[in-house]
Amino acid sequence: MPVTQRNASRQRTRVGDEVSVRAKRILKTLEARMPTVRVELDSSTPLELLMATILSAQCTDERVNQVTPRLFAKYRTADDYGRAVPEELEALIRSTGFYKSKAKHLMGCGKAIHERFGGKVPGKMEDLTSLPGVGRKTANVILGSYFGQPAIVVDTHVKRVSNRLGFTMSQDPDRIELDLQKLFPEAKWTSGAQRLLLHGRYVCQARIPQCGKCVIEHDCFWEGKVRQT
């Protein structure tokens, strides 16, 4: 390898090592600020969390939590969703937006779980992502929260915070997931991603980031950071 290429390779390695060290430091700081983290969608079973996560697309967790008590009271099993009357289901979830397509996903998901997995939510990525309306983000929510598997959820908040912190240069959720997997210890995948999510939701917000309240401000080199006077 020519000298210039070796030097460039060493420079990339050095930069990568620095980001990795900073990422671990940031996770430690966020853990101190948020010792306990959980998904903010209310649920008591994997099926409930799965359905709530499908509903959360383009909708706030707060709104979903207002809808799900009645939903979960009416539909208790995967088969219940599979046999639902579309108009009745749509009426219950209307306020979450895109209710017609979400109703189709809930019904299709329930039917598939009943017919293919004996009524139980599967615990494998490939099985979950084979269900209607379930992508990697939703699957990772289930795997990390209920099955205890290391899983990095990449939603809009995680995407925004990861880019601002320089953990990734991508806007593609799958690429971001891979980048964070390389930076975070595997044991911290689930909790670390959830802390980034909550940090983005309440502090590192899209329109007006609360930089004055940010505990990792000293480790953030984002050019758009709101300077305090």
Query: Which residues belong to the active site?
Result: 137, 155
Look up residue 105 and give its two tokens. Answer: 């996903």
Residue with tokens 């460039």: 8
Do residues 152 and 177 lie in contact, with contact meaning Cβ atoms separated by under 8 Å?
yes
Buried b (16+ CB within 10 A) or exposed e, 122-157: bbebebbeebebbebbbbbbbbbbbeeebbbbbbeb
**What's phi and psi for 205, nearest 5 deg?**
-75, 160
- Report the 3 state secondary structure along 150-183: CCCCCCHHHHHHHHHCCCCCCCCHHHHHHHHHHH
| Structural contact between residues 61 and 198, judged by C-beta atoms closer than 8 angstroms | no
What Rg value do the Cα atoms of the chain yield, rounded? 20
